[in-house]
């Protein structure tokens, strides 16, 4: 029987990062300052822009990329030859039926399997349900490589905690959860991340524990926001200002400061479906998690109906109405369009035959068209709209103030503030 292949030491590590999006690129830049690192992505255009030190996500600056002297980029799988540490940071989306879509993860695992050698280790960062790494990914690597798991190669899981558009909480300043398939692998993974994470690491007892920890981080936020959104629905019917209620309740020391709003993005609106999928596989129906998802998924339509009601109260003809949406990204001061719920507002307004213009200075025009079929306008004209919806609190919009935003509308136009970014007295409606 063959003996177990030894892992490389940290000073022997040659790292490959598979997936150069919001998660993978900051990781590649950080590792590329200390270790020989290959940033790999199947999108050749993405690789080309990074080679010229440009990142359209705005998460990594040109200077950061230049400082990563040991980092190279490639879309050619041959560039992975010789790497002994493979870190997978590809997306884990859901399909149209809200089921986990593991195709990117499976494809990346095949790529790793064709490149990994004896003593290699593959570490997954993508959000999954407990068990996915060892039940789905590892068998693919075994099959493609012809190697035996935990004898010839090893695995780890260290969930991403990237917060797009957040200048304060960066990769290095967020504590990292780590894990490995053997005690030696766990120690290696922990040491590897510990070399770049100044906030420290937390070594979980198993890969499954680390997977579960990641997925519930976002479920907790989703459920809490759903509670506040439901309260907002109730208080609106009671004629009470939700934010005044939250401000009053917030004077108690242990009241949690959640606010109502649209819940989109790559994590909070998606990750819960990974755990609910696994729960239902084992015969448990997760009532609270799914109820939270149902409430949060309905908030875009709720906003649109509120806007339409305000317009009808002013006797505006919806078949002739022009409505401006300010913001398309899923959050403020960020170009990220993944799972944005602003599109739900747009689609619901279209059901009333309104003409809807969308303006977002942060979002790439081609990306908006390709992803959602939305044609962004470059600059909204003054005095043209029967309603204006401030959907995303980009700094540019907040700086305009209520009067400037109102000037985009016709006399008596409705101004609805989804994010409560403007003074309450200056708008006609908000969550």
User: Burial level of 237, CB count in 10 A (0-12/13-18/19+)?
Assistant: exposed
Q: How many CA atoms lie within 13 A of 419 on its CB side?
A: 22
Question: Which residue carries 């995303």 as its tokens?
Answer: 392
Q: How many CA atoms lie within 13 A of 246 on its CB side?
A: 18
Query: Cα 5 to chain center, whole Å?
Result: 36
| H-type alpha helices, 52-182 | 62-67, 103-115, 132, 138-145
Q: What are the phi and psi torsion angles at 87 (to 5°)?
A: -115, 120
Length of the chain: 431
**Cβ atoms within 10 Å, residue 243:** 16
| CA–CA distance, 56 with 364 (Å, rounded to integer) | 8
| CA–CA distance, 150 with 137 (Å, rounded to integer) | 14
**Cβ atoms within 10 Å, residue 79:** 17
Q: Are 413 and 401 in contact (CB under 8 A)?
A: no
Query: Cα 70 to chain center, whole Å?
Result: 28
Q: Are 380 and 371 in contact (CB under 8 A)?
A: no
| CA–CA distance, 79 with 76 (Å, rounded to integer) | 6
Structure tokens belonging to residue 125 = 């960062």
Catalytic position from the list 267, 334, 351, 430: 267
Structure tokens belonging to residue 424 = 């309450």
- Which of 167, 70, 89 is closest to 127 using CA atoms? 89
Q: Is 267 a catalytic residue?
A: yes
Q: Are 215 and 247 in contact (CB under 8 A)?
A: no
Q: Which residues touch 388 (CB under 8 Å, ≥6 apart)? A: 323, 324, 326, 405, 406, 408, 409, 413, 414, 415, 416
| CA–CA distance, 427 with 414 (Å, rounded to integer) | 8
Q: Please give the positions annotated as active site.
A: 267
């Amino acid at each position: 029987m063959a003996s177990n292949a030894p892992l490389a030491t940290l000073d022997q590590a040659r790292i490959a990062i598979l997936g150069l999006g919001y998660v993978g690129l900051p990781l590649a830049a950080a590792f590329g300052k200390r270790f020989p690192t290959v940033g790999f992505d199947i999108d050749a255009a993405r690789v080309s822009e990074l080679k010229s030190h440009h990142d359209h996500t705005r998460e990594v600056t040109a200077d950061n990329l230049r400082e990563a002297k040991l980092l190279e980029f490639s879309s050619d799988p041959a560039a992975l030859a010789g790497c002994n540490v493979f870190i997978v940071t590809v997306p884990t989306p859901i399909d149209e039926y809200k089921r986990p879509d593991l195709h990117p993860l499976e494809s990346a695992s095949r790529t790793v399997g064709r490149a990994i050698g004896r003593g290699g280790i593959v570490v997954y960062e993508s959000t999954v349900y407990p068990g996915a790494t060892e039940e789905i990914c590892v068998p693919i690597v075994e099959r493609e490589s012809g190697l035996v798991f935990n004898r010839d190669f090893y695995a780890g899981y260290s969930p991403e905690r990237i917060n797009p558009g957040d200048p304060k909480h960066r990769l290095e300043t967020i504590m990292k959860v780590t894990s490995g398939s053997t005690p030696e692998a766990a120690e290696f993974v922990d040491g590897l991340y510990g070399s770049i994470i100044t906030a420290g690491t937390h070594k979980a007892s198993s890969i499954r524990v680390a997977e579960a920890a990641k997925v519930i981080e976002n479920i907790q936020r989703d459920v809490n926001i759903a509670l506040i959104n439901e309260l907002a629905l109730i208080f609106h019917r009671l004629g009470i200002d939700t934010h005044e209620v939250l401000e009053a309740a917030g004077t108690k020391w242990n009241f949690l400061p959640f606010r109502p709003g649209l819940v989109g993005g790559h994590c909070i609106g998606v990750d819960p479906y990974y755990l609910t999928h696994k729960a239902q596989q084992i015969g448990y129906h997760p009532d609270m998690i799914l109820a939270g998802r149902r409430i949060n998924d309905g908030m875009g339509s709720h906003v649109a109906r509120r806007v339409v009601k305000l317009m009808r109260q002013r006797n505006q003809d919806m078949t002739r109405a022009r409505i401006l949406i300010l913001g398309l990204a899923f959050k403020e001061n960020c170009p990220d369009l993944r799972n944005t719920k602003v599109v739900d507002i747009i689609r619901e307004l279209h059901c009333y035959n309104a003409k809807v213009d969308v303006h977002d200075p942060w979002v790439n025009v081609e990306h908006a068209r390709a992803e959602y079929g939305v044609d962004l306008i470059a600059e909204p004209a003054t005095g043209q709209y029967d309603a204006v919806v401030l959907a995303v609190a980009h700094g540019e919009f907040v700086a305009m103030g209520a009067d400037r935003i109102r000037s985009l509308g016709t006399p008596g136009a409705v101004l609805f503030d989804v994010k409560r970014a403007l003074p309450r007295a200056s708008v006609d409606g908000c969550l």
